[in-house]
């Protein structure tokens, strides 16, 4: 970025669960926001603006929830903005907030993303209120079948990703799914939902929220904990369908990745990035995004999985937090990728910390694999080597 340096100075998230019946929507977003403020050593009064993101309003049936949540997020009398880019929204909400600091408009911006899936029905919401919705898995399964056909990937690759992410989730105190006895056998024997996706290869439905405080260099210097420098951000979008579209490797995803890498001087992402948090709601999206963002060559993504490269101890760890496969409060899922990527370079990821992580990638996608938001975080402003 050419303008002012931007840092993540505070990160907070809720414990994600199937139903957080113990809290209201207000209580849910405040739980994440208060943790982020505490991490940043800030109070509500220190925040200049609030940016809120969530997936479609029909999911909970609250239209324009940013209006009723404004004062719950300390937004009275401050600029407040809502972002909506489907499943990628958490990522783009954070990115928008970072731009407000980057452009010199604000010193500290609170970004918050959330979903309370237990209060509605996402499948019904996705179908626009019509019956007969096929769900996100039904939309993505044909893309996955095409990937498998094009690359001759063995069936067990999806099972491996499902096991790896659930094992990682056991190290993340906030993760929703904790399947202590997860195994290839267990995934393989789980119910087929949308061929080739089995039940345990799919994300859960979660209630949860995530918040990030982004700040200027001065704000980072005043914060008690180490910052994650936001070295670059990129957002790209394409239409959901058009003739000749490659849904397995959407052009918007390729363009987003290259715009990001170019902006921070990354020429070999697999070598220069230490850890990635990718939006993987269905197991096969791990190898698909490794290839779709040119981290791996064609047909090499599934080989990275097969070789164990994406495990927490591997050469290119992916989703040490357990990822979307372990916690999926939809609106927050994209921000969780950014937050977890930031925690890694701050050295604050706890039990799922990747040793020596200095450069991390956060990525989120949404809609019909058509909205992309990506960011590179560094432990220092010159971390990319």
Q: Which residues bind other proteins (CB under 8 A)?
A: 19-24, 26-27, 30, 34, 43-45, 60-61, 71-76, 116, 118-121, 124, 129
* Least spacing, CB of residue 83 vs other proteins, in Å: 20
**Cβ-based nearer residue to other proteins, 45 or 180:** 45
**Cβ-based nearer residue to other proteins, 19 or 239:** 19
CA pair distance 78, 227, nearest whole angstrom = 24
Cβ distance 242 to 124 under 8 Å?
Answer: no
Among 149, 166, 191, which residue's Cα sits nearest to residue 288?
149
Continuous H helices in 44-192 = 65-69, 89-102, 122-126, 135-151, 156-169, 184-189
* Least spacing, CB of residue 194 vs other proteins, in Å: 23
**Cβ-based nearer residue to other proteins, 3 or 21:** 21
- Rounded alpha-carbon distances, angstroms, from residue 262 to 4, 39, 169, 251, 372: 18, 31, 32, 16, 16
* Least spacing, CB of residue 110 vs other proteins, in Å: 9
Residues 6+ apart with CB under 8 A from 168: 312, 319, 320, 321, 322, 323, 326, 352
**Cβ-based nearer residue to other proteins, 11 or 50:** 50
Among 109, 347, 92, 111, which residue's Cα sits nearest to residue 216?
109
* Least spacing, CB of residue 200 vs other proteins, in Å: 27
Cβ distance 39 to 214 under 8 Å?
Answer: no
**Cβ-based nearer residue to other proteins, 12 or 74:** 74
**Cβ-based nearer residue to other proteins, 23 or 139:** 23
Among 131, 150, 144, 121, which residue's Cα sits nearest to residue 193?
144
End-to-end CA gap in the chain: 16
**Cβ-based nearer residue to other proteins, 37 or 141:** 37
* Least spacing, CB of residue 373 vs other proteins, in Å: 27
Cβ distance 365 to 88 under 8 Å?
Answer: yes
* Least spacing, CB of residue 12 vs other proteins, in Å: 14
* Least spacing, CB of residue 10 vs other proteins, in Å: 15
């Amino acid at each position: 970025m050419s303008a002012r340096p931007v840092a993540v100075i505070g990160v907070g998230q809720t414990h994600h669960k199937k139903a957080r019946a113990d809290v209201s929507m207000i209580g849910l977003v405040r739980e994440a926001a208060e943790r982020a403020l505490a991490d940043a050593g800030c109070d509500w009064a220190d925040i200049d603006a609030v940016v809120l993101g969530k997936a479609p309003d029909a999911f909970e049936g609250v239209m324009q929830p940013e209006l009723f949540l404004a004062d719950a997020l300390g937004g009275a009398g401050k600029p407040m903005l809502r972002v909506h880019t489907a499943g990628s929204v958490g990522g783009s909400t954070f990115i928008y907030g970072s731009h407000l600091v980057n452009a010199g408009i604000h010193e500290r911006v609170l970004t918050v993303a959330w979903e309370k899936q237990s209060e509605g029905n996402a499948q019904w919401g996705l179908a626009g209120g019509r019956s007969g919705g096929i769900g996100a898995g039904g939309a993505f399964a044909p893309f996955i079948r095409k990937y498998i056909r094009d690359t001759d990937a063995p069936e067990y690759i999806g099972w491996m990703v499902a096991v790896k992410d659930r094992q990682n989730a056991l190290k993340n105190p906030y993760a929703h799914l904790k399947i202590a006895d997860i195994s290839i056998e267990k995934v393989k024997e789980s119910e087929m939902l949308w061929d080739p996706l089995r039940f345990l290869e799919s994300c859960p439905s979660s209630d949860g929220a995530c918040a990030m405080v982004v700040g200027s260099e001065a704000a980072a210097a005043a914060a008690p904990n180490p910052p994650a420098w936001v070295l670059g951000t990129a957002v790209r979008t394409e239409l959901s369908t058009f003739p000749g579209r490659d849904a397995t490797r959407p052009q918007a995803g390729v363009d987003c990745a290259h715009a990001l890498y170019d902006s921070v001087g990354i020429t070999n992402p697999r070598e220069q990035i230490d850890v990635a948090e990718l939006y993987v709601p269905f197991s096969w999206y791990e190898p698909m995004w490794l290839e779709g963002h040119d981290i791996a060559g064609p047909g090499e993504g599934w080989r990275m999985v097969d070789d164990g490269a994406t495990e927490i101890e591997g050469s290119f760890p992916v989703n040490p937090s357990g990822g979307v496969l372990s916690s999926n409060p939809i609106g927050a899922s994209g921000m969780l990728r950014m937050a977890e990527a930031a925690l890694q370079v701050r050295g604050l990821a706890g039990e799922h910390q990747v040793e020596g992580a200095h450069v991390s990638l956060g990525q989120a996608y949404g809609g019909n694999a058509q909205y992309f938001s990506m960011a590179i975080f560094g432990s220092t402003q010159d971390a990319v080597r």
